[in-house]
Each structure stands twice: as structure tokens, then as C-alpha cells.
Chains A and B, each alone.
Chain A
């Protein structure tokens, strides 16, 4: 998980390039703020000890 604002900015810029997003200077503060919020949610969620058998519930029917 990113630990510093500078980490968040770097991750946002690098992953955005990876997925083909072009972020302008007016996008970066808002995107970084939202990414940091989502990363904090993920940190909470990833710390939860799920069992190997806890699989998602897909509705895909072949």
C-alpha cells in the first residue's frame, strides 16, 4: 500500500500510463486523493483473513 503522498502520485501516474490514461495536471490531485481513499479501503479489506475456500459468487453460466 502507498505510504506517502509522493508514493500515491507516482503510482497514479505510472499505472495510468499502463492502462492508457492520459492524466493532466488538473486531474492529478483529485485522482490521487481518490486513489489514496481506495488504497485505504483496500488495506482494510486485504487484512481480512479469508480462507482458501472463500471464493466469489459468479453468475456466469456457460
Chain B
């Protein structure tokens, strides 16, 4: 029972077993730590483990259960967080070597604290691209995180450790951050669910930021119910985050099983339907047919939206790290350094135009959602690429692999609309992600549609090995 609960079970199933007294949180967490010890050498998801603290937290959960009290809806659920979340007692690396010299955080990030209050047990911190500036988690300081479905391929990024840890069954729930796609891209490439909520919906307090205008926090999980459960615990106002909305939270769990028959679902056209591998567009069409989504909705000016998001990201990220770029540029990861340096050189007019265009593009997207509830796109234009791949040819055009993998996620984080990626299992092939997008604050709609797709077996997180090449069999190729 313990093995099944630690390796494949959903977080809400684990919590139910703990709350019912069927299994102890301590035994669960101990088994999760053993599983991590056995598997993570090959995967490289974790940059820190907090074994002693986790076991102490688990014992506290067990005492609550024994005393007849409810430890919370995530009782005893092991979870882990991208290492840009503050964890009291750990240094917040944000994927960098520079930050490793900083003192440990004094407090948990708001999102970490929220999950712990619900009974979840933090087991460690996860690998990422340096300062979240990447889509592949090819981190030169801490090594790349490997895709659990094929160790020669990237896990995606920048929340690559989060996605790979959930996909490999090391934890059922993880937190990531998403500035241009950094929750959704790795979730799609590793075959798990990921949610980037509306901008300002989940507090970023205690999170090492990257680009103030675009940064979001979101959960990754192996089931839609877990995503909804985590979202409901995380969403809400927080005066400690200046962009966090004061709008009251709107719980999504109560709506999860509601019918989607009346919802207007359409497929995003234009660039979303062109710049991808045929196998990806085929998977998207299959999902669209299943939902009866025969309408195509094209958003205007996608290349300009991508350009504006890129300019804002570079300008804000580089301004944030300017003191280190001036004094110690060679301590940055070669994978990010030159992009940060170039971003420090942008004329103000470019960045202001990008911010003004953001408002214009938001208005067009809102118009698109006046007669559509949910838009479908592929999450990424291709499945997980090999580690080290610099470029590939898509639709006859050579593209930079590491930038183009975020082509379909970037437009939505640019304007802060909520977006969810759901995994498509493909026997003998790597998983893909389908992206569901809605108008602001409509996370409940996304989760409802994802739950319906999950109930029909259209989307689900593949077990490691389902792609035909297990981690073990590919290990020799590293």
C-alpha cells in the first residue's frame, strides 16, 4: 500500500488515507524519501532535501490524526518546490551559484506556508534554469534535470525539477513559477498537469522574482483534482505581494464535476495551428474533436506579442540582476549570462512600447473570449527535445529549440490569462500537453474541462516507462 501511495497515487488519495488513519504520514514520507534517494541520481530533480524536518512534520500530522483532529486536506502529502521559493532554513538558490552564498531564508514563501497549513509535508527544493530564464532546466551549476520518460531528453523548464519529480512519482504535488511558460512547458514535456493561474491570483511573496510584470506561481500534479485542491488552497489576497488581487478567492473544487456540455470551446488558430510538429497538431485535433470544438479563433499579432513578452522579460530580469551583471558576470550560468547582459542594454522606448502593446493585446484576447469560454492549443510545438539541442526545423523553418518550445505558452502569460496544461499519453512515444486557456479568473472553467477530459480518459499522466523507453533502459545512453 505504501509503495502505491508514494509512487503513483494522487495527492487527494494520499491525504484521504492519512486522514482515515489507514496509513501514517511518517511511513509515507519515509517511503517518499527512500524513493527519491533511489531515483534522483538519474533524474537530478532535487537540489536540497529536508529529511529531518519532513519526518518531524509528518509525525505532527500523525499526532493530529491520533488526537481526532483534521490535519487538513493535504494531510501527509509529500510535496516539493522549485528552489526559487523561500523555505525557512534553506538558502533560496533560484538556480544560481551566486545566491548559494546567501543566508538561509527565515520564513516560508506564502505558497509554501499555505500548503503546509493544509497538512502537506515539504520534502525538498527542486532544480530549475538559473533565475528562471529558460525552458529546459539545462543548469550548468547543478546539472540538467532529465526527463523521466527518456533520460537523454530535457524535462522542460524553468520548473523542470518540479515537473520531473511529479512525473517520476517522487512527489504527487509540486510548485513552480511561470513567466513565459515555466510551469506549463515542463509539465507538458514530462506528462503531468500544470496550472498557471490568472496574474495576481496566487501570492508571489517569498518567491525570487524574474520579471515583475509576468511572474506567476502555480501547482503541478498528476490529477486534475489535485491541481484544483492546491489552487483553492493557494489563491487569495496577500498584502505582501503588490500585484496580488484583492478579489476574493473563488473555489474550483465544488465545480469540478459539473457538465461542460454548455461550454463554448474553440481551437486557437493562426500561429498556434502552424508552427508545430504534425504529431502535436494531430493530438490537438483529437482532443478538439472529442470536445466538439470545431470553431477556430485566431488572435492577431502573435509574433508581436512574443516580441513584447521577450523584451519585457529581458529588461526586467536584467535590471533585477544588474549589480551582479556589473560585478561578477562570469558567476552566472553561461546558459543565461549573455541574454541577461544583452537585456541590460535595451532602450526605454522598446520596453514601454512592449508594455503598451501588452494592454492592446489583452483587449483583443478579451474580445476573443466574449463568445468562447475555453480556447485549446498545444502546450508546446514538439515533445521533449534532446538535452543540448540548439535548433530544429519546424514547418520548413529553422527555429531555436530552447526559445521556440515556449511559443504557445508565452502569449498567455504575457497578458496574465489563466492557462492549464493537461498530459496526453501516447503509447511508445513521449507525452504531449494540451493547453486550455480562459478569460481572467476563470480557473474553474479550465479545471472543469480538464476534469471532463480526464474522466473520459483523454488526458492522464503516463507512468514512467509508458513512453517505451524507461529511465532505467536509457540510463546507459547518458
Contact = CB atoms under 8 A, between A and B. Distances in A.
A38 B343 contact: yes
Contact of B200 (A27, A32, A44, A59): A59
Nearest to B310: A41
A22 B326 contact: yes
A21 B314 CA distance: 16
B360 A21 contact: no
Interface residues of A, number: 32
B342 to A, nearest CB: 4
Interface string B326-365: 1001000000011101111111011011111111101000
Given A21-B325, A54-B356, A46 B349 contact: yes
B353 A46 contact: yes
B301 interface: yes
Sort A-B residue pairs by CB-CB distance and give the 4 closest, nearest first.
Answer: A30-B338, A41-B307, A34-B342, A56-B355
Interface in B409-445: none
Contact of B342 (A31, A45, A59, A61): A31
B290 interface: no
A48 B345 contact: no
A57 B343 contact: no
A59 B243 contact: yes
B21 interface: no
B314 A38 contact: yes
Given A27-B337, A41-B311, A56-B359, A15 B345 contact: yes
Interface string A20-62: 1111000100111111011001101110101000111101110
B242 interface: yes
Contact of A38 (B242, B301, B326, B346): B346
B110 interface: no
Contacts of B350: 38, 42, 45-46
A35 B349 CA distance: 15
Contacts of A27: 329, 337-338, 341
A56 B356 contact: yes
30 contacts: A11-B345, A12-B345, A16-B341, A16-B345, A19-B322, A20-B322, A21-B329, A22-B326, A27-B337, A30-B337, A34-B338, A35-B342, A38-B346, A38-B350, A42-B307, A42-B353, A44-B303, A45-B308, A45-B311, A46-B349, A46-B350, A46-B353, A48-B301, A48-B353, A50-B356, A56-B355, A56-B358, A56-B359, A59-B200, A60-B242
B304 interface: yes
Nearest to A34: B342
Interface residues of B, number: 38
A27 B133 CA distance: 18
Given A42-B307, A44-B303, A19 B356 contact: no
B341 A45 contact: no
Contacts of A54: 356-357, 359-360
B406 to A, nearest CB: 14
A32 B314 CA distance: 14
Contacts of B338: 27, 30-31, 33-34
Given A41-B308, A50-B353, 18 more contacts: A12-B345, A15-B345, A16-B344, A21-B329, A21-B341, A31-B338, A31-B342, A32-B342, A34-B339, A41-B311, A42-B307, A42-B311, A42-B350, A50-B357, A57-B355, A57-B359, A59-B242, A60-B242
B362 to A, nearest CB: 7
A44 B304 contact: yes
A38 B357 contact: no
Contacts of A22: 326, 329
Interface in B6-38: none
A12, A32, A35, A44: residue with the most chain B Cβ atoms closer than 10 Å: A35
A20 B178 CA distance: 30
A12 B353 CA distance: 21
Contacts of B354: 45
Given A21-B326, A35-B345, A42-B307, A48 B357 contact: yes
A33 B346 CA distance: 14
Contacts of B306: 41
Interface in B284-335: 301, 303-304, 306-308, 310-311, 314, 322, 325-326, 329
Contacts of B339: 34
A23 B347 CA distance: 18
A38 B304 contact: no
Given A30-B338, A46-B353, A19 B308 contact: no
B358 to A, nearest CB: 7
Contacts of B303: 44
Contacts of B310: 38, 41
